[in-house]
Structure 1
Amino acid sequence: MLGASGAVGQELLQLLEERRFPVGELRLLASARSAGQTCQWNGQTLIVQEVTASAFEGVDLVLASAGGSVSKQWREAIVAAGAVMVDNSSAFRMEDGVPLVVPEVNPDAAFAHNGVIANPNCTTILLTLALAPLAARRPMQRVVVSTYQSASGAGARAMDELKDLSRAVLDGEAPKSEVLPHSLAFNLFLHNSPLQSNSYCEEEMKMVNETRKIMGLPDLRFTATCVRVPVLRAHSEAVNVEFAESFPVQEARELLAAAPGVELLEDPVNNRFPMPTDVTGRDPVVVGRIRQDISEDKALEFWLCGDQIRKGAALNAIQIAELLLPVA
């Protein structure tokens, strides 16, 4: 495993244990700076090793969550050793020949790899789980999404900073952010990934391009606005989907309730729909407030929440790896 010390890496270790993933030997690999550190896993004390080309010898699977530059650096050595890398960075997602996989949506794509399988962006994973069962019933024509992304999407340090700066504001101090470009304490801001030439930020274009690739819809009309919000963990999304024909709300509700990896939460009497606290530390993407778009009779709107670290990153990577396990 590359990147065991980060938020996603820690979740990967927990899930390997929880899901009883068959592990003969688990190697924790990192830079020389982190080598020698210890980690408790499944009743064992594991020592972090410095990553070298020889460290991949005899390895079948590499779960990489150390960032795109690290994944690019060691890709050749991993593939040469005969291992498969499930990579959590954005380094290879749009590369031809590299499958981009959400197991509940396009599992067969995982088997067309050449040594590397890409784990999609967190918001894309959560979204496609909800889009797939609907698109399988009626063709999609356009998707409009606004995301409400928690601090966890920026890593463990951002989560700690949100806690610290929230305390500072409550104590009457001026919050000063060092991890994120602006303080998230009682605040929100548009996603700060680099703006592209079309005035969309990188995060927004990840959603556009990755959704098209996963769904096999290269010409799907799609627009996104991504916002960072003062939530510790779990992302939310407001979704509007236009279909080729009208889509009865009750039919959509039944499809989503039965979809793998999706849970329905709708209590209109009490105005109770999914919240980040409903999904924190849990596997399902929770969907609710499914309704007819009053401005377009062929469009539906809904709201979803999902744990960014869990299904939005670590769990999806583990599920990809589980696809590759030999069938007994």
Structure 2
Amino acid sequence: MERKKLYNVAVVGVTGAVGQKMLETLEKRDFPVGELRPLASARSVGHQVTFKGKTYTVQEAVPEAFAGIDFALFSAGGSVSEKLAPAAVERGAVVIDNTSAFRMLPEVPLVVPEVNAHMISQHSGIIANPNCSTIQMVVALKPIHDAYGIERIIVSTYQAVSGSGQAAIDELSEQTRAILDGQPAEPKVLPVKSLKKHYQIAFNAIPQIDVFEENGFTREEMKMVNETRKIFGDDSIQITSTCVRIPVFYGHSESVYVETRKPFDLTEVRSLLESASGVKVIDNPAEQTYPMAIDAAGQYDTYVGRIRRDLFHPRGLNMWIVSDNVLKGAALNAVQIAEHMVKSK
């Protein structure tokens, strides 16, 4: 029997929420890891992580740490990626980056394997993971865009706090506990940790994710606009988005309305979605069956429901899309890119 080739893998930001899920996903999907190198900032050096029953000590993410690495999965913030990703590439690694640092660079493929896997081979050392809210939307819209073309997208998101990292997860837990105990909530993280003004997330909805741009949209909303166009390779798609943070730990939900270029048959739309890679349709209004964040949490698929024709626009289509933002929206998508490269070697 031919021995399976193994690859040396570095996970940068391994102690963070996404980094931990990257480790877990590599293990669960039995990625052919030879040497695992867990990397993080200096303050996390010495911490321990477990992979396939073995304990590893976290090392500092410095350029020299990438010697001999085949795949480097980054999720440690844009500034870290900007500094260290080129250093990893120089040492022979393929970087799969989960930050926004390289996404819109023309020479860097922005990849969701179910949508545009053909772009992986066009990399020059760095491949970018799209934003979590973008990933689940394009996975669901891919079969519709292929069949009918998409002219316009209006999306409103209901995003879990894990999208802002471990500090936001902790904040939701602490605020919820405090309020239920009759104590005041102390907001320190959301909507954006670096800003001076923060709001309670427990029992609330915050209509701001990331900072505001001059056009009145947040950076998160503009990511959905620009990244969707790049992934589909179509700058003519008109997209508007409103991104909202809600008190859910894991799982982003999205209300998506699209106007297709060609007329569509609703039965065919359902059939296309049911056969689409990475998509699971849960849609039976008569039985009150539809996807919810608690269904998606911990799952790999992107769930679609509430599929219905618009009442007034003949080519208008509404749907509800839910996915685990830390898995398919981050860790899983990165590992899938690496898996695709391994299969193509």
TM over 0.5: yes
Q: 2:293 aligns with which of 276, 293, 297?
A: 276
Cross-structure match for 1:294? 311
C-alpha distance after superposition, 1:46-94 (max 9, x if no partner): 1111222221111111000001000011122111101110000000000
Contact 1:247/1:299 (8 A) holds in 2: no
Please state how far the C-alpha of 1:280 moved relative to its aligned partner: 0.6
- Verify: 1:189 aligned to 2:199, yes or no: no
Cross-structure match for 1:266? 283
The AA in structure 2 aligned to 1:124 is T
Q: 1:66 aligns with which of 51, 57, 76?
A: 76
- Verify: 1:305 aligned to 2:315, yes or no: no
Name the TM-score, length of structure 2 as normaliser: 0.93
- Structure 1 runs (4+) greater than 6 angstroms displaced: none
Give distance in 1, aligned partners of 2:29 and 2:261. 40
Give distance in 2, aligned partners of 1:52 and 1:160. 28
The AA in structure 1 aligned to 2:154 is V
SS in 2 for 1:26: strand
Q: 2:58 aligns with which of 48, 55, 62?
A: 48
Give distance in 2, aligned partners of 1:223 and 1:128. 14
Please state how far the C-alpha of 1:31 moved relative to its aligned partner: 2.1
Contact 1:246/1:299 (8 A) holds in 2: no
Cross-structure match for 2:92? 82
**Matched ranges for 1:1-328 at <5 A:** 1-180=11-190, 181-327=198-344
The AA in structure 1 aligned to 2:297 is T
SS in 2 for 1:104: helix
C-alpha distance after superposition, 1:111-151 (max 9, x if no partner): 10011000000000000001100111011110100000011
209-218 vs 175-184, which deviates more?
A: 175-184
Gaps spanning 5+ residues in structure 1: where? none
Please state how far the C-alpha of 1:254 moved relative to its aligned partner: 0.7
Give distance in 2, aligned partners of 1:52 and 1:91. 18
Give distance in 2, aligned partners of 1:178 and 1:120. 27
Give distance in 2, aligned partners of 1:67 and 1:260. 29
Please state how far the C-alpha of 1:327 moved relative to its aligned partner: 4.5
Name the TM-score, length of structure 1 as normaliser: 0.98
Identical aligned residues as a percent = 48
Contact 1:65/1:89 (8 A) holds in 2: yes
Give distance in 2, aligned partners of 1:8 and 1:22. 20
SS in 2 for 1:86: strand
Give distance in 2, aligned partners of 1:131 and 1:106. 12
Give distance in 1, aligned partners of 2:280 and 2:31. 24
Contact 2:13/2:41 (8 A) holds in 1: no
SS in 2 for 1:27: strand
Contact 1:9/1:65 (8 A) holds in 2: yes
14-23 vs 239-248, which deviates more?
A: 239-248
Give distance in 1, aligned partners of 2:209 and 2:238. 23
